[in-house]
Structure 1
Amino acid sequence: MNLQTSLTAESPTDSGALSPEALVEQLARDGRAAQRVLARLSDGQKAEALRAAATALRAAGAEILAANAKDIAAGEAKGLSGALLDRLRLDEGRLAGIADAVDQVAALPDPVGEVIASSERPNGLRLSRVRIPIGLIGIIYESRPNVTADAAALCLRSGNAVMLRGGSEALHSNRAIRAALAAGLESVGIPAAAIQLVPTQDRAVVGAMLTAAGLIDMIVPRGGKSLVARVQADARVPVLAHLDGICHTFVHAAAEPGMARALALNAKMRRTGICGAMETLLLDTQFPDSESVVAGLLDAGCELRGDARAQALDPRILPASDEDWDTEYLDAVLSVAVVDGLEPAIEHIAAHSSHHTDAIVTEDAEVAERFLDEVDSAIVMVNASSQFADGGEFGLGAEIGIATGRLHARGPVALEGLTTYKWQVRGSGQARP
């Protein structure tokens, strides 16, 4: 398939005559067949395939941006918020970043085949735990077209096939990106079914994916709280997810004022629509520069909603409701509370955090270590913006998502999180007595 032909195609299945369940089954069987091909590829072959996919993305730049312009126009007509439109929008710089991220994943070490641990039993049996791909991974996501490329690249690098079900907001963008990726794979002899995009927006397909136990090996939802809650409630397939990103920054009494101002502003306002954006600012009563921190946020156009002590810092701060402490705004809105030191801050975070990312600003090393030890979140930071909660910033190349559970993987999920392991046992004729 040449690139231009591929750009008009979705996954190769004709969905018109199939029920949602039959469509998912056919896609899954095609994907599992492609995954068996991926499982036989060497490190170098998978890297070559991803470099070809990145090259195809760059070659299709004009077509992808034209497709994205259709999605943006439809989103504006639909009245999507500025934050959602920002998630959806592509430009030359962002598209170059997507292609670069695919190249970066190609350059990462291949996790497949890594020996996690090995031992020898007294009877001479040699045991090894070895990383292997999970299999076929379903990704259900909303308005971010970059997820199409990130998820595909990470899954392929770790030897997994992927079934993508993007949101209607990014329909044209996702189709164009997937087509370019598939063309790149086919140019080096890898079946396009290794990266599938569900060829319909029928919501019933999501339900069919969630109940496709034995066909899809893991589901990763990326989107709003309602989407993830539905996936977790209805899935009969293992799910790797986080519900929302209610991220806190605690400015301790010993914080350096300039650092506190800069980090609070960046953590909230750099990009308000990402899951690592700060949603609650906690200010120590003994911190001497709280007025300046909140003024910087207000002057930058952020709406602040605070408790009584926070409102006393600046007359522009609105009163916070009980719901504000448990809200992921994904917009230029921030809740602010004043707390009496480290322990009340940790208690507030324990009560309201979604266990995604929480940060402290302090020059007190002992306080910093206590915060790291006692805050139970997937990512805990000292003197850094919560906006670094991103796989690329962790040196992982990209991420499939942030996991906030306690099983299998936690934090940015990249290559290692997309593998499982098996035991390999090597003997020399041992029979169990």
Structure 2
Amino acid sequence: MNPFEVKTKSADRYFMDWQKIYPRPYDKNEVDPYTRLRIILMNGTEYEATWFSHQFHRHCTNNDIRRELAVLRRTEQQQQKRIACLKPINESILETTIGYEQLAVDLTAILAQREPDAYVAQVMDLALLEDFDHLYRYADLLELERGIHAERLVGSYTEIMPGRPTIAEHRHPRDSVRRAINNHTAAPITKLNAAIITAAEQQTMNYYMNIGCFYDSDLGRRLYQEIAMIEEQHVTQYGALLDTSCTWLENLLMHEYTECYLYWSCVEDETDPAVKRIWEQHFEQEVSHLHAAEELLKTYEGKEACQVIPEGTFPELLRFGPQKAYVRKVIKNTVTNTAVGEDPAVPVDTLPKDNTFHAYQQAVCPDAARVASHQVISETIGNNGKDYRFEEKPHPVEALRDRTVDNITIAR
């Protein structure tokens, strides 16, 4: 599939009425977990598209370009509202959060395994273990306060057990900045991977920033607060991968191409007929946006789209599936890693005592007993005699197998 070759109408002929924007939500008890993940992913993708467009608008002096951006952005906003309303009213904040973290785990694992750039893959592996641990902490909160077992929500596709403990993830902000890729030399799949994971993690960060204070328990509010700070680290590191030498119009073209790629992946992967029709309609709309961006690039910078995206045909599509073996391998091999400077794979036990990691840990987590991510597990163990997990075999790291104690020293 090459979206540059797909015929479409002009972008301003795709506005939707209120009935179409408000679709029938999925049934939270019947939906396939991967349908839920695609919905979360595309909601985040539309959020990124909208906010990129607003930033472009605020940094652009040409009102003709700004008017074209306004047209594209209006449809992006309609698409985002439509996708967001697929979530049912009776799905709680915490149940939705389980979906966010399952997406973070399985999406990151999929992208890392297909990533040809070893450095970019290491960056993904670093955050993969951290989101995996977030899934475990939120799942324990769900069991502790609601009596709901999260394996039902993840469909047993994703294991739930400790990753790199959240308390060990807090790093100095200077150690979250990574090396940028070069869009002229990077593989097409690398450019897509960087754009996709940045949008997905940004959505999680924004969700926790806004929704955490609405949670109905003190412990839950503090857990959202803590994990939201890790998501800030993740968005910083993923955003740092993006090539900052690209012009605004080149970035617009890449955003629209990424959306086309993701919607077509959803069309090919979706099992729910009603949701699949939405993906098909949005793909057609995004193709019109891509052609509009192509024309803007040619008109105002004198560049052809092939100078930014040399091969328009989509590379390997994004397809969801269980990633248990890969996650276990990464945990076993890298659980004690942290990041120092631009290096995302430094064993903690090699750091000198005066390293910024230890200084930041002391500043933020001086008393481990008062750290929310630890308290959630400690209280669950206190209530049930053990933590909540969904694991198909013993944990790959022996130090994290004991379900009667939360390990707060590993990777610190």
Whether TM-score is above 0.5 comes out as no
What's the TM-score once normalised by structure 2's chain length?
0.25
Bigger CA radius of gyration: 1
With structure 1 as the length reference, what TM-score do the two structures score? 0.24
The structure carrying a bigger strand percent of its residues is: 1
Identify the structure with the greater helix proportion: 2
Question: Could you say which structure has the greater relative contact order, defined with CA pairs below 8 angstroms and 6 or more residues apart?
Answer: 2
